[in-house]
């Protein structure tokens, strides 16, 4: 769907994408970044997204910097005069890789992959951070078991390079993560293309576009892994 007459939109976005969004520089849009930790509770994330949508004022177009995110966006509803545009993906990884097709290819070839971006490392939780918190509360043995259980189906840790100039800290973190959990470390180039298309269009089959206050349907994302 083309984006005719899109002068300014409200972009409601996960905080882990802030660096990438700012690198694009969509100056005409208004941006609201939500706490990345909301991913841990899809119902709470849905509530916060709906609250933000309900207070979005006179914007006719709302752009969501989220995927389906454990069904968190299912059921979201705008005002009748608004349209809601959402990337047709399961989570934010495809937005960092640059396309839905690339993510699907990576998922099919190497499903046991834990992905990182600079924004994710800075703002979100992961099993290593949880381990360090849990040691104090539950002790070394139980904390280590719980962390390893989270990653028992993973074989590699991948740092996605998304255009930030300084990656030394991120690289060191993911190296340590991979070493701690005995995973293979890799890096790959990301792309801003998918995020740019979200911000400026056109909104084609890689997006879910909901008009006239209709609720977001979960089955609209069913082609995410096609």
Q: What is the DSSP string of 21-41?
A: HHHHT-TTSEEEEE-GGGGG-
d(C-alpha 201, C-alpha 197), whole Å: 5
- The SS3 of residue 14 is strand
pLDDT of 84 over the 50 cut: yes
In this prediction, residue 79 carries a pLDDT of 92
Smallest CA-to-CA distance from 217 within 86, 36, 33, 47 is with: 86
In this prediction, residue 158 carries a pLDDT of 98
- Torsion, CA 133, CA 69, CA 121, CA 104, rounded to 10: 130
Residue 214 is classified by DSSP as P
In this prediction, residue 28 carries a pLDDT of 86
- Torsion, CA 100, CA 102, CA 106, CA 108, rounded to 10: 60
pLDDT of 225 over the 80 cut: no
Confidence of residue 3 (pLDDT cuts 50, 70, 90): very low
Q: What is the rounded average pLDDT of the residues 14-37?
A: 90
Confidence of residue 222 (pLDDT cuts 50, 70, 90): confident
In this prediction the pTM is: 0.89
Q: What is the mean pLDDT of the chain?
A: 91
In this prediction, residue 166 carries a pLDDT of 78
d(C-alpha 102, C-alpha 94), whole Å: 7
Q: Are strands 10-14 and 30-34 parallel, antiparallel or unpaired?
A: parallel
Q: How many residues does the chain have?
A: 226
User: What phi, psi does 65 have (nearest 5°)?
Assistant: -85, 55
In this prediction, residue 26 carries a pLDDT of 72
Beta strands in 21-150 (DSSP E): 30-34, 61-65, 83-87, 113-116
């Amino acid at each position: 769907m083309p984006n005719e007459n899109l002068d300014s939109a409200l972009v409601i976005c996960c905080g882990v994408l802030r660096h990438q969004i700012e690198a694009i520089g969509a100056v005409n849009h208004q941006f609201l970044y939500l706490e990345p930790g909301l991913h841990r509770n899809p119902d709470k994330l849905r509530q916060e997204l709906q609250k933000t949508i309900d207070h979005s004022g006179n914007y006719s177009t709302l752009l969501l910097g989220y995927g389906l995110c454990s069904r968190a966006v299912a059921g979201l509803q705008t005002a009748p005069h608004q349209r809601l545009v959402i990337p047709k993906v399961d989570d934010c990884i495809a937005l960092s890789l640059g396309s839905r097709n690339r993510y699907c290819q990576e998922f099919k070839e190497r499903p046991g992959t834990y992905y990182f971006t600079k924004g994710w490392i800075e703002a979100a939780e992961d099993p290593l951070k949880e381990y360090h918190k849990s040691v104090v509360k539950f002790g070394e043995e139980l904390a280590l078991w719980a962390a390893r259980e989270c990653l028992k189906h993973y074989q590699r840790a991948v740092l996605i390079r998304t255009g930030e100039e300084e990656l030394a800290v991120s690289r060191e973190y993911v190296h340590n993560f991979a070493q701690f959990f005995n995973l293979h470390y890799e890096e790959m180039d990301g792309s801003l293309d998918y995020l740019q298309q979200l911000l400026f269009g056109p909104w084609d089959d890689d997006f879910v576009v909901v008009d006239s206050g209709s609720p977001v349907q979960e089955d609209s994302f069913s082609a995410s892994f096609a």
